[in-house]
Structure 1
Amino acid sequence: MSPAKALEQSGIRKSAVLLVSLDPDLAAKILGEMDKEMLREVSVEIAKLEGVTREERDQVLEDFLRNTMQLDVTAQGGLPAARDLLSRVLDPAEAKKIVETIEAATRSTPFGFLRKADPQNLSTFLSDEHPQTVALILSYLPAHQAAEILQGLPQQRQIEVVRRVSQMEVTSPEVIAQVEGALEKRLSSLFAEDLRRAGGVKSVATILNLTDRSTERSILDSLEEEDPQMVDRIRKLMFVFEDIKRIDDHGIQIILKDIETGQLGLALKVADEELKDKFFRNMSKRAQDLLREEMEYLGPQRLSDVEAAQQGIVEVVRKYEDLGDIVIEGRGSSQIVV
């Protein structure tokens, strides 16, 4: 059974909860397999989603795996079953990403609930813990996350923790459970905030940014009939001015034909050097000189004016993307030939 088919049998809210729990690339791929009506209903639910508990998310993931594999996931061993599923529907790199998500959600390993926490926040929380406790926690986290947490600790504490990790042998399950329970209570407010942030228009925008343009248009056109204000909020959170870096040089040359020098100079006023260079290297020497002169003489500008200029350029980008004249990296257009 395909992931999209399994979602159709799971109900709209469960589908929304699952999609916001997955890696956005995978969520976008699943959305692309849905029919138009299912796309509309799920997108609306994601935008309105709130109050998702950790228990609900765990149950949704388990139900999804059971429906997809047509077997009892608990009887087959939880995470191994998830790995088997993902290896059949994803390439290895994507499978590895989502296995970590499922592992954290199902709490199959000690301290699994920490795997989605911000490393900087964890460094702050753990800075006053005993080095042995920190060493125990880091030894069960993914290496990249443990490294980020370690970097956030005071230097002397870093040395103490690394020493204890290197000397660590077998720790009793009772001790691990005790440390895990105490830590989870202390961090409950942090995770409650993370769960409250699940879903919403930002999640929709993130997912749709990774779908192909036709899927995006189909979803937004349908949603617009029901809630045009929500669609407007979603669109504002999708492709933004800084994302122009994802357009190749040929595409930049195309959009420059529709952008006035004054508008571009104002839009680039707060842009980083990488984005400025993206435009400059695709302009003639004379056009470069005119733009630099425009930027030099602008003086202080209201941020709202700068953002308006940037949004105008974004609209130019979207126009040419709709026409098929440009391709934005990561927008599901790898099969388009131009």
Structure 2
Amino acid sequence: MDTTTDGLKKAAILMITLGSEASSKIMKMLPDNIIQKISYEIANIDYVKPEERDTIVNEFIEMQQAREYIIDGGIDYAKSLLNKALGPQRAKEVIDMLNQIQLRERPFDIARKADLQQLTNLLLGEQPQTVALILCYMQPEKAAAVLAEFPIEQQSEIAERIGTISHTSPTIITKIEKVIENKFSNYVENKTEAVGGVQTLVEILNSVGRGTEKNIMQVLEERQPDLADEVKANLFTFEDIITLERSDVQKVLRDVNKDDLLLALKGVGEDIKDFVYSNLSNRQVETMKEDMQFLGPARLSQVEEAQQKVVATIRKLDEQGEIYLRRGESDVIIS
């Protein structure tokens, strides 16, 4: 639960909205210090505006949906479903908010971040009830992998204890967490975090101007041709529009600004123009060809800017799950 002042006020309003019966059941599961803070907020709320109440209830529902999606299929699965339900911007806000809250509220965060083998080695010497408690707070897939490393006779004992845990004193959790953190501290302090890499570079290049992208790729091809090939295999450019499925191209053409498309096509070969035309009606093609004749010469920078706008539309549809882009050797489907 978010324990900032704003978070406590939201929790208090939610409790008031849910009513005394439901709220009392929730309160019983909270630590004493949080109960005191929320109770103080409730006591100091005289009136709740209907729109404020509705916003907080909707936020609570969205957060719960996000939690369930993450538990069911992980963060990418949650993002995909939330994108469909809430749109990409709101989905990102909910995921970010949930991540911030979980970082503050969930015990044994150090165990969730630890290397699987190191975690297993350290837990093998712990009591079954301690292992069971820690696994309850871990990612299901990681908890399953840890459990599988224990001797068979211990697996069933730990599983039984997990199944029978209902409530645990916050004091006990804190004590166990401190012991575990002390054991993990040396490992975590020395652990390096994965940053950078090809995918990070691709994401950056996907956001820069076309001229900057070309300059960077040209230097990469000269200095590190293998890296350049790997980046190009994952980088979507305007010319890659021919790799899209017909149905996806038609979605793009419905969303893209027609003037941008017209200008973007001035800088490509006939094969790409023909591909785009093949996804338009005969009347639309005739109109575009006429407009292109009247358009006259255009600066390269203008053409590249228009191509970048079209690519931005393609990437937006990709992020929303409306289309999918081929990257590297396999198709990445975002639905």
TM interval, shorter chain, is 0.3 to 0.5
- Of structures 1 and 2, the larger Rg is shown by 2
Return the structure number with greater relative CO, CA threshold 8 A, min gap 6: 1
| TM-score, normalization by structure 2 | 0.39
